[in-house]
Amino acid sequence: MSQSWLPAQQAIPAASPRVLQMYGRFWDIVSLLIFNGSALMILVTHWGALTNRHWSVAGLLLAQGGLYLVCIARRGWPIRRRWLAAYFIGGITLWIIMGVLQPEMWWVGMTYFGQMFGLLPPRATLVGTLLINVLVILQLTRWDLAEITPSLLMGFGFQWAGGMAVYLFIHNVIKPSLERGHLIARLEAAQRALEAAREKDVELAALRERERLARDLHDSLGHALVAISVQLEAIQRLYRVDPERGSQHVDELKALTRRTTDELRRSLAGLRAPGLGERRLSEALPALCVEAGQRAGLAVTCRVPAAADALSPAVAETIWRVAQEALTNVERHAQARRVEVSVEVWPEAVMAQVQDDGVGLPARPEDLPGHYGLRGLRERVEGLGGTLTLAGADGTRVAARLPLIRETAAVRETQAAA
């Protein structure tokens, strides 16, 4: 049987599993009652005068019921094409044999007539039900073509045409609802996938932040504590032979302790700093720049267009982290006086830049101790398909470019409104 005559799996309507199961079980019971009940009726009606023909007809009815049980009732929805082909070809063949033995059982064929409405697509239903009607007429006339009258043909013809008209009308009315059901199911699946991806991204970001903080504390506080321990041992020895030199070491130790305390405070401030969360990027990023400028005595300018508020949460969070890490590095290492923070949104991409007038970056800064934050930024940006650029020839420039795919339309609408 050609595949075009049987329903494709994606053409099966989306429905509640419980409702679909109850609907299927109802028709399973009806079909099995027709086949098995008819077999029992023949045996009971002719009890005491049963012939081989009666036993054969009852056996054929039971075989049709068994075929339905195997091919339809025990299969999960949607039913595969091969099971539908096996059922209708095998069942109708058994019914034809039964009709040759006992034409009075022609009405059993109407069971297949109704089942085609529920199991086959319109094209296969049109041909299949027409075939059933022809076979019913042949059985009514006991397979004698001379007995077929125009009135008989007209009666069954009108019956078939009327049934198909009702079927096609119902099918065309229900089809848009089925398509909406498929669309809703796909949208719900996509939403669940997006939520899972966002949760995974948040967890991954938290792990990276913990790793960065651990390395940062190891390279700053750990090294400083080692240096303090060595200084204390040196002071302990020097005070016995050269108190003045020992006093100089104490002053150096005080300065080292203050620097270490400042580093620890910055690390803790970075740990406590919240992510972007539900805040709008056009408001949160300028506030971050103001805080950094006041804390470090920097002249910070910030330009963020309103279109940035239409970016996806993952992209907006990454831009926020880029600005946060870059400003933190300016405070610690740049010795700068002015900083420019800017965000530019285009239809295909968004660019975030932080430019300062400080001492610039050393060669391969991501590989140096104390710069694990830059490595984490690169991983975060590249994880979204973007690129991170670090330039340190004249001051320091940190630029992150992120592609925009699904959110392009929303960004354009925001730009038009602005």
Mean pLDDT calculated for residue range 246-275: 71
Q: Domain spanning 277-418 has what CATH number?
A: 3.30.565.10
Q: Round to whole Å and give the CA distance between 189 and 251.
A: 65
Give the range among 110-119, 303-312, 328-337, 406-415 with minimum mean pLDDT: 406-415
Give 29's DSSP letter. Answer: H
Contact (Cβ atoms closer than 8 angstroms) between residue 72 and residue 112: no
Q: Round to whole Å and give the CA distance between 134 and 252.
A: 108
The predicted-structure confidence for 323-347, as pLDDT tens digits, reads as follows: 988 888 888 778 889 999 999 999 9
Mean pLDDT calculated for residue range 95-104: 88
Buried b / exposed e along 276-286 (16+ C-beta atoms within 10 A): beeeebbebbb
What lies within 8 Å, CB to CB, of 113 at 6+ separation is 129, 132, 133, 163
The predicted-structure confidence for 284-329, as pLDDT tens digits, reads as follows: 999 989 988 888 888 999 999 999 999 988 899 889 889 988 888 8
* 82, pLDDT greater than 50: yes
Per-residue confidence at 197, pLDDT binned at 50, 70, 90?
confident
C-alpha to C-alpha distances, 176 to 137, 163, 181, 185, 246, nearest whole angstrom: 36, 21, 9, 14, 89
Q: Round to whole Å and give the CA distance between 66 and 60.
A: 10
The predicted-structure confidence for 344-391, as pLDDT tens digits, reads as follows: 999 999 999 999 998 887 766 666 555 556 777 888 888 888 999 988
Highest mean pLDDT among 207-211, 364-368, 374-378, 408-412: 374-378
Mean pLDDT calculated for residue range 180-206: 77
Amino acid 409: pLDDT: 43
Amino acid 20: pLDDT: 61
Going from N- to C-terminal start, the domains of the chain cover 3-148, 277-418
What's the residue count for the chain?
418
**pLDDT, averaged across the chain:** 80
Amino acid 10: pLDDT: 42
Amino acid 371: pLDDT: 55
Q: Which two three-digit tokens encode residue 45?
A: 């009606």
Amino acid 240: pLDDT: 77
Q: Round to whole Å and give the CA distance between 418 and 415.
A: 5
Per-residue confidence at 124, pLDDT binned at 50, 70, 90?
confident
Give the range among 25-34, 54-63, 195-204 with minimum mean pLDDT: 195-204
pTM of the model: 0.42
What lies within 8 Å, CB to CB, of 221 at 6+ separation is 260, 263, 264, 267
What is the β-pairing status of strands 349-356 and 338-345?
antiparallel
Contact (Cβ atoms closer than 8 angstroms) between residue 411 and residue 359: no
Per-residue confidence at 268, pLDDT binned at 50, 70, 90?
low
CB burial of residue 47 (10 Å; 0-12, 13-18, 19+): exposed
Question: How far does Cα 106 stand from its chain's mean position?
Answer: 51
Amino acid 219: pLDDT: 61
Consecutive H or E run containing 356: strand 349-356
Mean pLDDT calculated for residue range 17-26: 70
Residue with tokens 């069942």: 91
Per-residue confidence at 205, pLDDT binned at 50, 70, 90?
low
Give the range among 43-57, 159-173, 314-328, 388-402 with minimum mean pLDDT: 159-173
